[in-house]
Structure 1
């Protein structure tokens, strides 16, 4: 199966899993409380769940205003429904409104303190905003849950967070655990390649990059990292090949602009 590493925010932060194709057939205005979607559903929790799922679909389809409307409806219907707060936090983060995002994450955990998905997303958010210790604490909170069905997500997030904090040993341990839970996980492989590159383990970085390339349709981030590995190894032919791919496929990317400037680090 081909996996594309792009839009790391949505890949790393786990959201409610609903088929995206459904969102493409949704109407352009969100339903209101008591509207057609609500007529056969009586209890507030089920109605809030429905609107949260709709909000998730709209968000996945980048229809942010309607997504926010649906999530606000969900919270209006059931002010204690934690998943609605958790998803609204992700939307606020997408809109670069960190304080609103954090407020919603806190509300989500207030009503569902043992929900590992919310703790994972909150931990990821904190790490993205430079609060590494607090973020790792939330990620560890998620990992302690026996109900967590996808711990590799939190391990990948924790690995990225520890690496940003400069704790390379801990970062490698987290990424190794992610790969034990999900062998060949593309995000875990990508960050471990980056870790090997940063620590000068270039042959290991190249080997794992080869494995990663077999699993994904490489993005500009992947090609840029592969190019820099080959440059440090002195393989000019491979470096040139990756540079050509970057130019042809992603001429508007930040990575290609860095290549043009000669900024390899």
Structure 2
């Protein structure tokens, strides 16, 4: 009787009903044979008990055999282990959400670090060619630009003027350098340059700016630098034969007054909050 459980009680109830009908049939046979009432009841009880006992013995013998046969055929019954695995799968969803939050926080920190390096680059490169006020305006424009998810639309009042030392080619190189870490498109970069350096590009079409962003990358005062967020920058030198070579050079970390102003501007309350993750940052190192 040990096989009676929550899983097979219905089957036992059904079989007991069948055995009851068979015991009643045996009783009727005993009545027809002229047995005494006492013996008739004994036949009924005995028949029912014997059938139940035989069924229990058969189940005890056949169940292990059937389980073994089903396992051999690849069938497996659902066990507590599978239930535990299902619960663990539910926990995995929670773990995934936690891991995702941690990943997003790390990515946000990475973006902020890149932004700081870009602004430092702006202070280093442009401070010799801009007044302190224009440098501050340029830094604010750059911050706004890298946070935009659409085409820039800067007002004429935020345009800055550079010295005659910088050519339009230099400014194009500058625009490409600051746009690349944030995967800005060439069209948006050209529009940014056209609006922010309005005087320098007053006679230059947007299509021309976009097309020539990387022209002559190693020529001019500001050169194309695809690694402004790295620890090294490239400088051009000539050997004794006059052949140009590019030599890695460590980034100068010494502070200058203009750069200090640039970094101080980043702490102002007016600086926009970091843009939402996943907008433009990608791992691909191809040109913007």
Higher helix share: 1
User: In which range does the TM-score fall when normalised by the shorter chain?
Assistant: under 0.3
Question: Could you say which structure has the larger radius of gyration?
Answer: 2
User: TM-score of the superposition, structure 2-length normalised?
Assistant: 0.24
